[in-house]
Amino acid sequence: MIRLIGYMFGLGCVLFLAVAAAAAIYLVGVTRDLPDYAVLNSYEPPVATRVHAGNGALMAEYAKERRLFLPIQAVPDRVKAAFLSAEDKNFYNHPGVDITGLGRAIVNNLQNFGSGRRPEGASTITQQVAKNFLLSADQTMDRKVKEAILSFRIEQTYSKDKILELYLNEIFFGMNSYGIAGAALTYFDKPVTELTIAESAYLASLPKGPANYHPFRHEKAAVERRNWVIDRMAENGYITVEDATEAKAQPLGVALRRGGSSLLGTDFFAEEVRRQIIGKYGDKVLYEGGLSVRTSIDPDMQLQARAALQRGLVDYDERRGFHGPVKEIAASGDWGPELAKIPALRDVPEWKLAVVTAVSATGVDIGLQPETAAGGKVVDDRERGHIDAENMKWAYRDAAGQRNTARSPEGVLKAGDVVYVEPLAGKQNSYRLRQPPKVQGALVAMDPHTGRVLAMVGGFSYAQSEFNRATQAMRQPGSSFKPFVYAAAMDNGYTPASVIMDAPIEVVSGNEVWRPTNYGGEDGGGPSTLRTGIEKSRNQMTVRLAQDMGMDLVAEYAERFGIYDKMAPYLPMALGSGETTVLRMVSAYSVIANGGKQIKPTLVDRIQDRYGKTIFRHEERTCEGCNANSWANQEEPVLADNREQVLDPMTAYQVTSMLEGVVTRGSAAGKVHISDRPIAGKTGTTNDSKDTWFVGFSPDLVAGLYIGFDNPATLGRGATGGSLAAPIFASFMEAAEQTREAGKFQVPQGMQFIAVNRKTGMFANEGEPDTIVEAFKPGTGPSDTFSVIGMEDTMPAEEILRTSPQAQQAVTSGAGGLF
């Protein structure tokens, strides 16, 4: 017996050694190609780029994986407790593998063998980190062994908090959200620090299977799983039983965060920023680099710009009649689900889609598009309303603008028509008929001293069309280009009192003859000052002026102002026949408004990388002495403005003064008036009224816009920059300037002010009628003789005397000299 026992013992030892040797050989083979866990030390996950408004409000996010990296110190204890209870309650005690938990899982799986239940796992948080970062998700023995070995090594190298930080920032929560910070925003639209016990528990339940606990498709399972986590938190002593009972009684409360812009009306601006960042850094940095972008947009001003442009477009469009319904559906039965399928203009929340249920001579009964729950389920309530005939009179015209095509709502709408409506303030269930306009436009507002774009509206609705007409639409500026022709002239020897012939002119080029005319075919007014030419927007005068100084000079100034990259030096270009953008025109006017300093328009103030390091800053001015360690009676530091002076400051003021005249008595007279502050600006109307413009400024704000069809077509008889664009500008500026201090246009030192005759531009005696005080540079002043630029192209001096009352008055009154 003793020999037998010895024999069996020896055999057992041999088998044990064989098994140990085999295990050692297996482990050596498995560990030979283990990944380097040191890479965890330089963990840089794909992180979302966040774009903020000028006031810090979140405007947009861009990410392939919605993730925001959050240091473990910033994660609240209740959130940690939820994940530890759900995934690994012994996390802070085991060495990487939970032997007790593993044994329990093996016993339970043996008991459940053949029951069809899913095998119970025993992976610790450390093991999940090893799998997610270093291994594949293959369900093999090799992978589990590697996972365990790596877990032991990771635990020996990194602290528990570091491992938990990696886990919480990497795991997938569904809805394209990764990491606890991204999940909190996606599911509850709040930061991690504001999560409740119930919300923390629900998020902790998701890593097991986000699709299995979807808050809307599998709401019951989601609640059960969340409550199980809450019970484990209480069982582990993280919360009290009372806290657990209260948390389990709460609904899921999921409020999915919508994509796109988070601030109303900023979609065009945000998309332009996105394109610029991609152009500067590439797609990967935008969607994975975790940039923090601070933009220049003023959210309040953006809403004011949006409202002014939308109102102007709608007013014009409604004067042209009704285009017809958005769609037609069956109005009988349950029309809610069918109406809910029609996409509405999400960025025009003031308007709602509705189906016409009945029409009479006095009005229209409507059913409003039902609300849709976050999971896509249509809410059962059917809200109804009414449109009085009085609130849809504009629709009695057809789309061609013909009058009297209908005399009541019965001739416009029928049951089943889907239309847009807007609720009337103070009247319950009462609505106004609306329609998205076919005409489009763009508006940009800018700080002229810095080039910061404060507002940008690229069209009526981003949901209607993503084409940004402020930056992408190439349009003819028309007469709004003229101030740069006059600026070039006054920078090169002309004065506001210089006189030019306003009369028909022919320009011959080869076999072509060009005969520019004034707006509306008006006859020339004879000899007139530069001020009159720009105030009345005289085409013939502008052509003569450009011809006199040379188009090469005009082209040089247009390029200097940034209106064109390369301008062809042809005379029609002096009337704005080239193509440019609203942003470029507003930037060019900003140079005039700020006294001639170069402007670099920007939508972005600053960009920081994921670590907070600034990698771009728009502000290029330097401040010597701003970072002094102490005060030792030194001079106050001054910001050094090293920008190029592209226009003489005195010329800039002269142009500004003339553009003030456009607003007070010129082509925009009566259309633009802003209380308690000066406004300068210029109208623009292209051939056949295909585009109408207005660009103008106060001392500290420049704004410009155009209105036109995307496929250029006439806007109709009488459509001008003064009648269509100027009122929109005035509406915006009136709102935008309310919260800004009133200022005055700065007069350069040395500028002289002399009274001149408004007609002749010559010196005016005291008390003489029809005079104006003009600004002159030192060494210049009113002419002593009545000389007319471009006179030789029209008629002899004697003929001008005979036919021009202004010339006769100049000579007979003795106002000065001869021709």
Please give the positions annotated as active site. Answer: 87, 479
Contact 703, 696 (CB under 8 A): yes
Interior/surface letters 693-732, b for 16+ CB within 10 angstroms, e for the rest: bbbbbbbbbbbbbbbbeeeeeebeeebbbbbbbbbbbbbb
Q: Both tokens of residue 437?
A: 């306009």
CA–CA gap between residue 69 and residue 165 (Å, rounded): 9
With beta carbons less than 8 A apart as the criterion, state whether 240 and 234 touch: yes
Identify the DSSP state of 262.
S
Residue 417 φ/ψ, nearest 5 degrees:
-70, 135
How much helix, strand and coil, in percent to the nearest 5, is found in the chain?
40, 15, 45
Residues 6+ apart with CB under 8 A from 13: none
Task: Tell me the angle at which helices 77-87 and 219-235 cross, rounded to the nearest 10 degrees.
Answer: 100
Residues 185-195 as b or e (16 or more Cβ within 10 Å = b) = bbbbeeebeeb
> Would residue 345 be called left, alpha or beta, if left means φ above 0 and alpha means ψ between -120 and 50 degrees?
beta
Instruction: Say if residues 819 and 806 touch (Cβ distance below 8 Å).
Output: no
What is the C-alpha to C-alpha distance for residues 626 and 619, in angstroms, rounded to an integer? 15
Q: What is the DSSP string of 191-254?
A: -GGG--HHHHHHHHHSTT-TTTT-TTTTHHHHHHHHHHHHHHHHHTTSS-HHHHHHHHTS----
Q: Which residue has the tokens 């569904």?
A: 174
Write the CB contacts of 743 (distance below 8 Å, at least 6 apart in sequence): 677, 698, 699, 700
Joined together, the tokens standing for residue 90 give 């012994």
Alpha-carbon distance of 159 to 154, in angstroms, equals 9
Helix, strand, or coil here: 346? coil
